[in-house]
Copies of this chain bind each other. A is one copy, B any other.
Amino acid sequence: MTRLDQQFAFLAEAEKLKSVTRATPIHDASRPENSGEHSWSLALYALVLADHAPEGVDVNRAIRMLLLHDLVEIDVGDVPIHSQNGAAHGAPEIAAAEARAAERIFGLLPQEQGAALLDLWHEFEANESADAIFAKSLDRVQPVLLNHLSGGGSWVEYDVQFGQLESRVGQKIARGLPGVWDWVKAKVEPWFAARDRV
A→B interface (CB under 8 Å): 2-5, 7-8, 10-12, 14-16, 18-19, 26-28, 30, 33-34, 36-37, 39-41, 43-45, 47-49, 51-52, 60, 63-64, 67-68, 109, 113, 142, 145-146, 149, 179-180, 183, 187
Main secondary structure of the interface of A (DSSP, over half): helix
Q: What's the Cα separation between A34 and B44 when bound, in Å?
A: 16
Is B145 a contact partner of A45 (Cβ separation < 8 A)? no
Q: What's the Cα separation between A37 and B14 when bound, in Å?
A: 11
Which of chain B's residues has its CB closest to A27's CB? B15
Complex A-B: 22 CB contacts under 8 Å = A4-B183, A8-B183, A11-B41, A11-B45, A11-B145, A12-B27, A12-B145, A14-B41, A15-B26, A15-B27, A15-B146, A15-B149, A16-B28, A18-B26, A18-B27, A19-B27, A19-B28, A39-B40, A44-B67, A48-B113, A60-B63, A63-B64
